[in-house]
Each structure stands twice: as structure tokens, then as C-alpha cells.
Structure 1
Amino acid sequence: MPEAIITPPLFRRAAASLAAVRPRPELVVRDLDAPPRLASYSWATSVEADIVHRGDGTDDLDEPDTSGRLILLHDPEGQEKWEGTFRLVCFVQARMEPEQLGDEMLPQVGWSWLTDAFAESGAEFTALGGTVTQTSSVRFGGMEAAPREDDVELRASWSPTESDGDFARHAAAFCALVASAAGLPPLGVRALSRTSG
């Protein structure tokens, strides 16, 4: 049986509205296979950014400075914890600058990237929850000692409240979150470049 027949129209509309958003050129969007068994219906995408990303499709983003995943879950019967029939789940990981190490305010700053993105996009939601975590790692097993990498990870989930299934504002908020985590300047603002001499 064709997927268009067995997939609820409201879910198809929601997924299409998320996929239709075109973020700023510094961000690279890719389709993902949604994790199975999280809900009756699911959809996923990834957004990656690099501080020096040119936005022309020629960059190698095998190890981006910032990456994120956005997953849409739908249960037509609804779930009590969701307070609705849809749930959006996101994960964002960003490399930290050396001067940020040990900053006790970093979790609050990281969470504000998300809440500010919601406010700017006008996305409406309920049942928001999540965590911000600082992580450190060192790679072993290579010929050269790898430098320590420190990251900040944000995990969050929320239930969009738009009843028509148009979640474009939530996709815009997620892209803005990734841009903030990557340290990209606001749209229309050019970063200052360092010149020698």
C-alpha cells in the first residue's frame, strides 16, 4: 500500500512544513532516517554549520564545529506527557572556545539559544524540557596525540501547538539555534575579519 495512503495527512503536512524551510546559506541541511519505534510516525533532518563554511556546497563537513538533529514524532492517539499528538526532539552539539571552558553560565547561555530562537521565530509550544551538558574528550590510538575537544550539548523536546500542522516556525527556530551554537553572527551582520599589518 502506498505510503501516502497509510500516513496521516496531518503528519505529512507537518513533515513537509519542516522540510520546506530554507535556512541561511552557512547551514547545510540533510535528510535523515528517523529513529524507529519512538512513535507511530517519525521524520528527521540534520543541520550542520562550520565557522568558516562558505555556503556554496563545496565545504567538507565530515567534522563540523556544530551539528544538530531535529526529529518529528506523531502519535495520532496523543501521549499525556506530550500534551498533544506531536513532539519535536532536538540534539545540538557545538565545539567550545577555550575561553568558555569552566564557565558556570554556559548551560544557561546554551538554553537561551533555544528560548531566544523560539521567541524570534514565533513558534508556539508546550511541555518544553531538556538539558545542556558540557563534555570533554581526547582521542587515542593515532600516531599523534590528539588535542582535547570540549563540547556543549543541548537536548530538548517540546510539543508544537499549531493545530494546522504547519511547523515551519519550529524549523526556523531550530536553524537559528544551530546558528547561535555555531557562533554565526545575526543575519545581516558581517563578522569582523582579522587583518595583519
Structure 2
Amino acid sequence: MSDSTAPPQPFQQAVASLRAVRPRPELLVSSVNAPPRLAPYTWAFSVEADADHAAGDELGDLEPDTSGRLILLHDPAGQDAWEGTFRLVCFVQARLEPEQLGDEMLPVVGWSWLTEALEGAGAEYAALGGTVTQTSSVRFGDIAGQRRDDDVELRASWTPRGTDLQPHGEAFCALVASAAGLPPIGATSLTRRSG
């Protein structure tokens, strides 16, 4: 007899495949609570990276240079806009270097981080859409002594094909690594990002 409260088998398989992702050592991956009202079944994980910290170092209380969340949505009935029963939603935020401020090509480059990561991981998908936004925050009052924050934010969603989502999880980790300015695996960075 099956447990009627258990998530459907396809959702369990999809979550298991995302849990099987083994990111590069510079990335800190952890499970997080997914927004519950987006779909009948949800699951999420976060990834943090800081190009100034060596692989394996804990970030501790420091705010990472780059962070992201990947949220898995599942509606067994499907949704027309999704073109399927699963949807992946991602959000990535990365600090900009001073020379990147005002770069009109940055949104195009930011979007290519995602599309190239999906292609490189062999992640098959449909209905990909999203935005890349440059933001600038200046602090005032009691927090005025802290630095100015200039960031790039990427928000995107797509429909994965099948329930083996490991390539999509690997692509998301590659996206965060690219946004953090980490060199390709096996390469050494010649310069360090400034803090």
C-alpha cells in the first residue's frame, strides 16, 4: 500500500537527481526552504561562491560575492506556460567589479552564462525565459559607513526534459561559478577579484 501523503515518484526522482550534484570545491551548496505556494510540490537549494576564498574555506559570517537559488516546481497536472509538469526557477546575484559598472553588454554576457552552462552540461529544456538586471545601492544613515553595492542579478526559469535533473543542477552550479568569476575547472586565475 502506498503512502498517499508522499510526493509523487517523478518528483522524488527529480529531487534525488538534484541531490546527486557534486559541485566544484569553491562552491558552498545547502538545501533551503522552497516557496510553498508556487506549485503543489517544491524543493530548493542554494549555492554561494566567493572568488577571494580558497576552495574548502568556510565563508563564515561573510556575505559571499555571489549567491543563487535553484527552485524545483512540480505540478502533476502540468501547466500550459511550463510546457510540462516540472519547472526550474533560478536567481543569481553577483557583485560587480568597478570596471563592469555601466557595461551595456553585461546583461548579454550574464544571460550567456546561463545558456552556455545549460548547453555545456547537456541539460535539455524548453520555454527558457528570464531577465538580467544591474543594480546599484548606496547606503545612508546608520549603515552609511558600509560600502556601495553594485550587483548583477539573473532571474530565469525553464522546463527540464525528463526527471534526471542532475545536468540542470550542474549547469546552475556552473552559472554561479561564472558569475563569481571563478576560472574554469583546472585553470588558475591570474588575478583576484577585489572585495
TM-score range, shorter chain: over 0.9
State the secondary structure of the residue aligned to 1:76: strand
The equivalent residue for 1:67 is: 67
Equivalent position of 1:188 in the other structure: 186
Moved over 6 A (4+): none
Residue 76 (structure 2) aligns with: 76
2:153 is aligned with 1:176: no
Deviation (angstroms), 1:5 = 5.0
Aligned to 1:123: 123
Q: Distance in 1 between matches of 2:9 and 2:174?
A: 28
How far is 1:148 from its partner? 1.5
Give distance in 1, aligned partners of 2:21 and 2:122: 14
Gaps of 5+ in 1: none
The residue type equivalent to 1:156 in the other structure is: A
**Cα separation, 1, equivalents of 2:126 and 2:155:** 16
In the alignment, is the contact (CA less than 8 A) between 1:67 and 1:93 conserved in 2? yes
| Contact 1:123-1:170 within 8 A present in 2 as well | yes
Q: Spell out, residue by residue over 1:38-80, the C-alpha distance to the aligned partner (whole angstroms, 9 max, x if none).
A: 0000000000000122232533254100000000000000000
The alignment status of 1:166 with 2:157, answered yes or no, reads no
For 1:13 and 1:28, how far apart are their aligned partners in 2? 23
The alignment's C-alpha RMSD in Å is 1.7
Distance apart, 1:14 and its partner CA: 0.1
| Cα distance between partner residues in 2 of 1:26 and 1:65 | 12
TM-superposed CA distance for 1:147, in Å, is: 2.4
Instruction: State the secondary structure of the residue aligned to 2:99.
Output: helix
Task: Give the deviation of 1:136 after TM superposition.
Answer: 0.4
Partner of 2:33: 33
1:149 Cα offset (Å): 1.0
Identity of matched residues, %: 66
SS state of the match for residue 164, structure 2?
coil
Residue 109 of structure 1: SS of its match in structure 2?
Answer: helix
TM-score normalised per structure 1 = 0.92
The code of the aligned residue for 1:45 comes to F
CA 100–3 in structure 1, closer or farther in 2 if over 3 Å, else same: farther
Contact 1:50 1:61 in 2 (8 A): no
Report the Cα offset of residue 18 of structure 1: 0.6
1:19, distance to aligned residue in structure 2 (A): 1.3
Unaligned 5+ segments in structure 2 are none
